[in-house]
Amino acid sequence: MLDHLLGLTSSPWLYLIVLVVVAVDGFIPVVPSETVVIGLGALSANGSPNVVALAAAVVAGSMIGDRISYGLGGRAGGRMTTGKLATAKDKAQRALRRHDGAAILVGRFLPYGRTATTLTSGSMALPMGRFRLFTALAGTAWAIYTIGLGRLGGAAFAGSPLLGTIAGLAFGMSLAGVCALVEKRRRGAPGAKSDRYDLPERSAAAAWK
């Protein structure tokens, strides 16, 4: 997909494509939105595409996709009972019960975390005002993060967008790996709190009213 976008870096259509890709990734978590955004961030280090317009498209796409995922969660969130997304949903339920909307911000940077937290927010009836606030914060933070990774790679490998993209992705994966390792050690430390909750889903929704 990145190869097709290279010829559109000076076209306003590029930002619409980015918006759609990021939005769809919110409820179909197999669309490579992170790769696309990091790649375009690497290209933006050379002046095109415009980094401000790119960031705006990413944030808008994030919020639109999250809102669609919220609606889907309200209708069919309870049907996710198997697979990786179901496991992520279980974790998202516990996180939302404990941390409220802040879990949406954290989940944006975890595998399947974006879809899981937004779907679960819909199924648990998180108030829309709070949901919009945290999805806006999450979308902005993710835009800064992914575009920033791309620009770092683009600056390090000027003249080679592909290498810049690979460098940005490698750096992002390294950060994710370190965070996962720290979290694993924290959970295994003596005296670490259990991540289990006995609060029923309906009563959790009632607590937000």
Question: 50-80, pLDDT tens digit by residue?
Answer: 999 999 999 999 999 999 999 998 886 555 5
| pLDDT, position 55 | 96
Whether the pLDDT of residue 87 is over 50: the answer is: yes
Residue with more model confidence, 27 or 31: 27
| pLDDT, position 20 | 96
Neighbours of 42 (CB within 10 A): 31
Residues 6 or more apart whose Cβ sits within 8 Å of residue 4: none
Q: 85: which 2 tokens?
A: 């997304």
Residue type for position 44: S
Residue type for position 98: R
Separation in Å, CA 114 to CA 58, 149, 151, 177: 14, 19, 23, 18
Confidence of residue 199 (pLDDT cuts 50, 70, 90): very low
Name the range with the highest mean pLDDT among 29-33, 92-96, 194-198, 199-203: 29-33
